[in-house]
Structure 1
C-alpha cells in the first residue's frame, strides 16, 4: 500500500470514527456466516428503567443497536465545526449506518455490521455480546456517575460523567435520551481535562424500536501474526475485527485494541523501494493522533503506525514496544 493510499486509509478511519457515535459496539458485517445468534430488540420494552450509571451506559449500547432513526448533528473539534446528516436502519438483522457532511468538502460514510463481541474467542470458550462485555469491562477502568438532567435536541436527557481511573485514556460526558437511552451528545475530555470534541444531535426524528432481531457477530479465533504489542494500557483488549484494509492489502497487518470506550489502531506494513512512506513522528488527523515509526524487523524495513484518541505518550509507548516473535499461548 503506497504512502498516499495509506494516508487516505488513516483519514478514512479518522472520519469513520464519526459512526462510532451511533453504535460503538458494531462489528463489520461479513458473509458466509451460516448460523447467526440473534438479539430480539423487542425485549427492550420489557426491561426496567435503568437506575445506576452503569445500567444507563449498557442500555445506551443496546439502544444504539436496536433503534432506527434519522437526525441532524453537529461536530465541534480541533479541526473546526461540521454539520452532518445521520441515519440508522436495520434490514435482515444487519445494521446500516450512514453519515454525510452537509458543509465543507462532500464526504459520505456508510457501514454495515452486527453486534460485536468483546474479544477473540472460540465457540466453546464463548465471549459476551459487546454491550454486556463493554459494561463489565469499563467499570474496572472508569468511574461512572450521574450528572444533572438536561435537554438535548428537544428531548429530556440523562447525563453520564465517565472519568478514567488513570492517565492512560480520555474521559467522556454522555447525554442519553431519557425515554430510549439513545446517545444524544458526547464530549470527549483529554487527560488535561479539556473538551477536545463535542458531537451532538440537533434534530432527531422520533426513534423507532426495530421490530425484530439484530444479528450478533460470530465467535472469532485470533489470527496468527509474527508481531504483537508487548505493552498496552491496562484493560486494552485485542478486538475480533478483520478490517477492510487487511482484506484489500494482504501485506498490511492491522489490529484494533479497546478498553470498551477508548480505542487504538495498530498498522504494520513493509516499506518498499520506490513507494511513498509516511514521515516518522506524531501526526494529527482531526481529534485523532497517529505515531509513525520506521523499524527493521525480520530482516526487512517496516512502517508502524499507532492511531487513536489517546494521550500521545500512550501511542508512542505502544509503537516503541512491538515484538517480532511468536506470541505466547
Structure 2
C-alpha cells in the first residue's frame, strides 16, 4: 500500500510542478508590473550597433507617484527625469527640455511586450541564465516572417525585473542590447534623488498645428508587412524657415517606423541607405504629377523590408 502511494506521488508530482510554472504571457505581465512598482537602482550597458554606453538608473514609487532618473555616465552628461506625467531632458549646458510624453527609454521594449504580443510573433520560454549575478528566465520573441526583428529577454526570477534585452536579426545577431551590470533592490530613494537642478533656460518644442496651410501632403503606403498599421499622422519642422514635413508612423505593436515626405525643388537631394544597430534609414526621390518629393523611412525593421515599403509609397498633393 505504501509502495503504491509512493509510486503515485512520483508519477503525479512532475505534472503538478509543470502546471504551476508561469506561462510566457504571465512572465511578461509580472515583468511589466515589477518595472512600474518596485524601487531599484543600478547600472546597465546600452549597446546600439557598435556603440556601447554606460547608464545609471534610479526608480521609485513615492506617495503613489512613479519617479525615474536615467543618467549617461560616459560622453556628455545627459539625464532624463520622469516624475509622474512630467518628463524632462537635462542637457550639459544646464538647460532642460520638457517632453510632451515619455519616450520609453532603453526599457521601452519590455513595456511594449507586456501590453500585447502581436500575432506575428511567437513567445517562448527558453531556459535559465544569469545576469548581474542573478538567476534569470530567458524568453524568446520570435517573428513568424522576415519582415521584423526578434527579441530576447532575461527576467529576474526573484523580482521579475527585466535584467537584459536584445533586439536580434534573422541570424540571431544582437543589434541592440540593454544589460544590467549592478542592481540593488529596495534602495532608500527619496524625492531629492529625482530633483531637477536649477536650469539656465528651458527649450521649447515647436508645435506644427495640423491645420497649417502647408499641411497638404497625403501619404499612401501601397504595401505594408502583415500586422503593421498606420498611426496618427503628424507634421514636423526639420529646420528653421523650412516648410513642414509630413510624418506618418506605422507599427505592428512592437516594431515601428516612420515615413517622412517633403517637397523638393531640384534634383540635388541625396538618396541612400544607412544603418545603426536595428535602426535603418532609407531615402528615395519620388516624382509625382504634383511635383518632386524626398521620401525617407526611419525605423527598426530589416533593410529589405524598409526598401520594399518605401518603393510602394505614393504621395498625393491635396491642392492639385
TM-score, length-scaled by structure 2:
0.64
Task: Answer whether contact 1:58 1:131 (CA < 8 A) is retained.
Answer: no
Q: Is residue 61–residue 131 contact of structure 1 (8 Å, CA) maintained in 2? A: no
Aligned to 1:255: 248
Cα separation, 2, equivalents of 1:240 and 1:180: 36
CA distance in structure 2 between the aligned counterparts of 1:169 and 1:147, rounded to whole angstroms: 20
3-state SS, counterpart of residue 149 of structure 1:
strand
Write the distance in 2 (CA, Å) between the matches of 1:165 and 1:272: 42
Between 195-204 and 163-172, the greater mean CA deviation after superposition: 195-204
Change (3 A) 1:91 1:168: farther
Q: Is the CA contact (8 Å cut-off) linking 1:50 and 1:56 kept in structure 2?
A: no
* Counterpart secondary structure, 1:56: helix
2:234 counterpart of 1:238: no
How far off is 1:309 after superposition? 2.3
Give the whole-Å Cα distance in 1 for the aligned partners of 2:261 and 2:141.
32
CA-to-partner distance for each residue in 1:49-74, whole Å, 9 max, x for gaps? 98111222233334444445432111
Gap regions ≥5 residues in structure 1: 1-48, 117-129, 209-221
Alignment: residue pair count: 250
User: Relative to 1, partners in 2 of residues 1:77 and 1:299: Cα closer, same or farther, differing over 3 Å?
Assistant: same
Instruction: Between the two structures, name the one with larger relative contact order (CA 8 Å, sep ≥ 6).
Output: 1
- How far the C-alpha of 1:87 sits from its partner, in A, is 3.6
Structure (1/2) with the larger strand percentage: 2
Name the CA distance, whole Å, in 2 between partners of 1:297 and 1:90: 53
User: Partner residue of 1:321?
Assistant: 312
Does the CA-based 8 Å contact 2:112-2:254 persist in structure 1? no
Aligned partner of 1:213 in structure 2 is: none
Contact 1:89/1:97 (<8 A) preserved:
yes
Could you say what secondary structure the match of 2:244 adopts?
coil
Residue 149 in 1 paired to residue 128 in 2?
yes
Which residues in structure 2 correspond to 1:260-279 (within 5 Å)?
A: 260-271=253-264, 279=270
Deviation by residue 1:75-117 (Cα, 9 ceiling, x = unmatched): 234323221223445689886655433223545456734699x
Structure 2 equivalent of residue 229 of structure 1 = 221
CA contact (8 A) 1:186 1:198 kept: yes
Mark the CA change 1:306 to 1:132 in structure 2 (over 3 Å): closer, same or farther.
closer
Gaps of 5+ in 2: 1-19, 88-100, 105-110, 188-209
RMSD: 4.0
Which residue in the other structure is 1:291 paired with?
282
> SS in structure 1 opposite 2:227?
coil
Q: Quote the Cα distance in structure 2 between the aligned partners of 1:254 and 1:187.
A: 28
TM-score by length of 1: 0.62
